[in-house]
Each structure stands twice: as C-alpha cells, then as structure tokens.
Amino acid sequence: MESQSSYQMKVINGEFGYVLEDVPHLTDYIADLPTYPNPLRSNSAYSVVKQYFVHVDDSVPQKIVVHKDTPRGVHFRRAGPRQKVYFASDEVQACIVTCGGLCPGINTVIREIVHSLDYMYGVNEVLGIDGGFRGFYSKNTVTLTPKVTNDIHKRGGTILGTSRGGHDTMKIVDSIQDRGINQVYIIGGDGTQKGAAVIYEEIRRRNLKVAVAGIPKTIDNDIPVIDKSFGFDTAVEEAQRAINAAHVEALSAENGIGVVKLMGRYSGFIAMNATLASRDVDCCLIPESPFYVEGEGGLFEYIEKKLKENGHMVIVIAEGAGQELLAAESKNAKNEQDASGNKLLQDVGLWISHRIKDHFAKPPKMPITLKYIDPTYMIRAIPSNASDNVNCTLLAQSAVHGAMAGYTGFTVGLVNGRHTYVPFNRINERQNKVVITDRMWARLLSSTNQPSFLGPTDVEEAKTEHVPLTQMLDNGENRKDEKTGN
Ligand SMILES: Nc1ncnc2c1ncn2[C@@H]1O[C@H](COP(=O)(O)OP(=O)(O)O)[C@@H](O)[C@H]1O
Ligand SMILES: O=P(O)(O)OC[C@H]1O[C@](O)(COP(=O)(O)O)[C@@H](O)[C@@H]1O
Ligand SMILES: [Mg+2]
C-alpha cells in the first residue's frame, strides 16, 4: 500500500539569496519540550574535542561552484551533535528497520546506530524490526545491543531481514505508538524514504514525540542530492572482479566476447563507474542511453570492428538497459511490477548474449566465443569495504545526533563532502540518473571509444530531457559529476 506524501517544506531565507531548506523539529508541533545537556559533554573520548558541538546555524551549500555574483543559494542543515538534546537517555526507545534490496554496508549502519546510541548517549533500548516495513505489524521485534551487533559489519546482507511492499502507514504508526518507540531509524532506498516521509507525517498528525530519521541505502546510487550512497564503492570494486574474469575469458578465445550484467534498474552508475575503473571494457550500455543493435552505427557493427582490431572485447550492460528493445521483440511482454511497484526487468544480459551469437552465426559467419557473467546478487551480498564502513559509521552517527537533538523527518546525507540533514521531499522528488550530456558520460565514451548510438536530434532531446528544474536553474553546476565522479 503505497501512499502519497504531503510533506511541508521548511524554508528559511537569509541575506544575499541564502536559502536553508531545513528539516522539521519536534518543537514545530509539540510545545514546551524539556531539553537536557548533551551527554557527550562528559564523554571522556569526546571531551578533548575543541568545538565538538555543531553551531546551531551551521549549514552546507548544495552548490559549490559559484561565480562572484552568484546568490548564496540552497543550503542544508549541517549534521552533528548539538549542545542540547530533546530526549533523556533513559527515555529513548529506538527502533531500526531495513527495507528494499540488499546493499553492502547495511549491517555496519545498524551496528553504528546501536553503538552510537549506547556509547554516546547512554541509550540501551534499541529494537530491530524484522523483515522490513511489514515487520512493524506482523512480526516480533529483536533486541539490539552493542554486544549482539559487535561483529555484524563483517557480514553481508542485513541481520534484520528486508522486504519490498508491506507499507501500511496506519498499522506501522500504531505499532510505533503501542510499543512506545520514540526514535525510528529507517534504512532504505528511494522507495523506503518515501515510506519514511509518510510515517513522519502520520506521527506529526498524531502529535507524537517520535523522531524519524532516514539513512539512504541504494546500491544503484539513484538518490538525488547526496554525493554518493553507501555500498556503491564496494559494488563498483566487486564488479571489477567480474569484468576481469570476462576479460580473461575473452582474451583466451578466438574472437572472445565477455558480457557482464551489472545492477542498475533505472540508473547506470555502477556500470559507468565500473567501466571507467576497469579499463578493460569496450562497451558500456546503461538505461539512460538508448542503443540499437542492427545496421550502421549499431552494436553488432561495433563488435565486429573491435574483434577485427583486437580479437576480443568486453561488454558491460546494466540490467535496466535496452528494456525497450526486449519489450519490442517479446510477444508476451508484460508491464509487471514487484511488491514495491518497481518495474520487473527482463534479463537483458541473456538477451544480448543470444542476439550476438545469432548475429555472428548468420552469413557471412564469424566464429565467436561468448561468455556471459551475471554477478549481480554476488556483488550486493558482500560486506562493505573499508571506505564504505567509515561512510556508514558517519551516516549512522549523524542520524543519532539528529534524532537526539529533536530533528525529525530527515534523511542524512553527504553533500559536498559534509554530513547534512536533508528534508525527505528533496530526496524523494526525483531519481538520480547518469546524465548522458554531462562530461562524465563523455569521459566514458572516450575511454571505451564505443559509439554513442545517438544522432544530433537525440543529443538535443537528451540535453533537456534528463535535466530537472533545479539543475536547469543552476546551469547544471550542482550536478554531482564534477565532485565525486558520479
Ligand atoms: N511511495 C511510497 N510510499 C510508502 N512506501 C513506499 C513507497 N514506495 C516504496 N515504499 C516502500 O518502501 C519499501 C522499499 O521500497 P523499494 O522500492 O522496494 O526499495 P528501496 O527503498 O530500496 O528503493 C517497501 O516496503 C515499499 O513498500
Ligand atoms: O531482485 P530484487 O531483490 O528485487 O532487487 C533487484 C534490484 O535491486 C537493485 O539492486 C536496486 O536496489 P536499491 O537501489 O534499492 O539498492 C537493482 O539494481 C535491482 O534491479
Ligand atoms: Mg529503489
């Protein structure tokens, strides 16, 4: 049961075009809440830190490329510990839920929320919700302690289990109320953050003192505004192993072709970054860039050219690429969706492999050896790498600091390298996609030397098609590619 959000933006304007897209606070709808000194003041590890607490007015600009006359523009509230907190340690009953597809690092986030609540804020009551949103009303909870979660960052998956679908706002908020939960940590992707937004709205409608914090999880890196989602680096790194295997197989055979399918339902970031990192890939196909196989300038012509030049080639294909070609060829193509309403994809890797084999079996025949590798679930099931572990730790700590300080209805996210609290609606307004008229995609095309498969009119259309209004207003300079390579 998916619900529509009516999230109200909280915007604060300042001088010289300064805009703070702020996140809600419990005091916005509950009067006279008591405050307490932050327990970190007496924490021996943190007491040495000069200026440990974040200034109440600290904010982080969304756009960092500016000109001398540029207005100051949109900012987000800086994450971090505050002087005052709105929960006494023994008052907190927190819960953590994980939803959507798996992604490396989920267990690290769970561990760090539990550890931060305990070691920084003296909170000992943390519940795990079993199996995603539906676990709120259909399953028992599990008790999470620092001891129970101590080693879980070394394991892939989520110790809490996850699911798609099952978002029943009323039942979830009833469960939160019945269990006396007052901090809700929601780890999940774009669908989950939409679910978190409606949970927050219902909590606010009921005037409950409950902080709702989202931690964005998506292996596809398709959440806007934030620099990069956790687990993405690990996935790109692991994808190298599959690409390397495909390369070895292709190199060792006559006219060897290695085809690797990578994740990316609507966004091709993993395929693009894995291709750029590997240097062994001759062609990368992503959902954002339409391609065709037959005729002049098509994929088959390019493969033939590469095989004649090099005797082998490697193709990386994101799972959401070319779906329109499969649909056109399949007589009984259905527009099916999963329990969360995500489009169910056909196996494009298998399809392209068959099409290539059929093409080169036809006269004038060309002998080829094609190996198809689908490492998708192997990639997302591994534990996070070192840098993602640090990333997960900081995200979890930011979420805990925010909830303890009384903020609610927010997602934590790295914006221009600083941790921030981003309002749900900014995360949910669109999906982040590879912009094929940006420099990053041009870098990829020049690194593989593959055809762009685009005519001049396609390029003109793409220049306007993928650019959301906020980016057009900013001349595209707030896009992520310049900064993080995404
Ligand atoms: N618009 C929405 N409103 C409420 N819940 C939603 C919405 N979209 C998705 N959800 C819920 O969020 C959870 C995860 O969504 P899904 O799209 O599967 O994964 P992800 O969060 O990884 O994108 C599911 O339980 C789904 O029902
Ligand atoms: O097979 P499942 O579990 O439905 O998940 C597959 C999908 O999940 C994804 O990994 C993306 O999930 P997230 O963006 O939510 O992490 C897609 O790339 C893939 O299509
Ligand atoms: Mg998603």
pLDDT at 3: 57
One-letter identity of residue 311 = G
Helix (H) or strand (E) holding 176: helix 169-178
For residues 187 and 218, is the Cβ–Cβ distance under 8 A?
Answer: no
pLDDT in tens, 39-70: 998 888 887 777 789 999 999 999 999 999 99
| 406 vs 400: CA distance, rounded Å | 10
| 370 vs 303: CA distance, rounded Å | 12
Three-class SS state of 399: helix
Number of other residues whose CB lies within 10 A of the CB of residue 32: 5
> If we measure between CA atoms, which residue out of 294, 318, 278, 301 comes closest to residue 434?
318
| 294 vs 76: CA distance, rounded Å | 48
| 281 vs 244: CA distance, rounded Å | 9
The single residue listed with the structure tokens 């989950």 is: 192
| Nearest ligand for residue 264 CA | 2
**Which atom of ligand 1 is the closest one to the Cα of 189?**
21
pLDDT in tens, 161-176: 999 999 999 999 999 9
DSSP character at residue 165: S
- The two beta strands, 183-188 and 36-37, are unpaired
pLDDT at 5: 63
242 CA to centre of ligand 3 in angstroms:
23
pLDDT at 344: 84
CA atoms within 13 A on the CB side of 56: 6
Let me know if 220 is a catalytic residue. Answer: yes
Ligand 1 neighbour 221 (Cβ under 6 A): no
This prediction has a pTM of 0.93
Q: Which two tokens stand for residue 106?
A: 């989920």
Ligand 1 neighbour 135 (Cβ under 6 A): no
- The residue annotated as part of the active site, out of 220, 233, 282, 474, is 220
- Omega before residue 364 within 30° of 0, cis: yes
**Which atom of ligand 2 is the closest one to the Cα of 189?**
15
**Which atom of ligand 1 is the closest one to the Cα of 132?**
25
What residues are designated binding site? 101, 164-165, 189-192, 218-220, 263-265, 319, 377-380
pLDDT at 454: 82
| 302 vs 308: CA distance, rounded Å | 10
Q: Which two tokens stand for residue 262?
A: 């990578």
pLDDT at 425: 92
Name the residue of 109, 167, 169, 190 whose CB sits within 8 Å of the most ligand 1 atoms, as the mutation to test its pocket: 167
Q: Whose CA is nearest to atom 12 of ligand 1?
A: 192
> If we measure between CA atoms, which residue out of 221, 227, 223 comes closest to residue 481?
227
pLDDT at 14: 96
192 CA to centre of ligand 1 in angstroms:
4
| 10 vs 23: CA distance, rounded Å | 6
Pocket lined around ligand 2, Cβ cut-off 6 Å: 100-101, 103, 189, 218-220, 222, 263-265, 319, 338, 380
| 120 vs 40: CA distance, rounded Å | 6
Q: Whose CA is nearest to atom 6 of ligand 1?
A: 195
Q: Give the chain's count of helices (H) and strands (E).
A: 16, 17
**Which atom of ligand 2 is the closest one to the Cα of 190?**
15
CA atoms within 13 A on the CB side of 259: 23
The torsion angle over the Cα atoms of residues 249, 452, 332 and 351, rounded to 10 degrees, is -10
223 CA to centre of ligand 1 in angstroms:
13
Residues of the chain with pLDDT under 70: 1-7, 331-333, 456, 459-460, 462-486
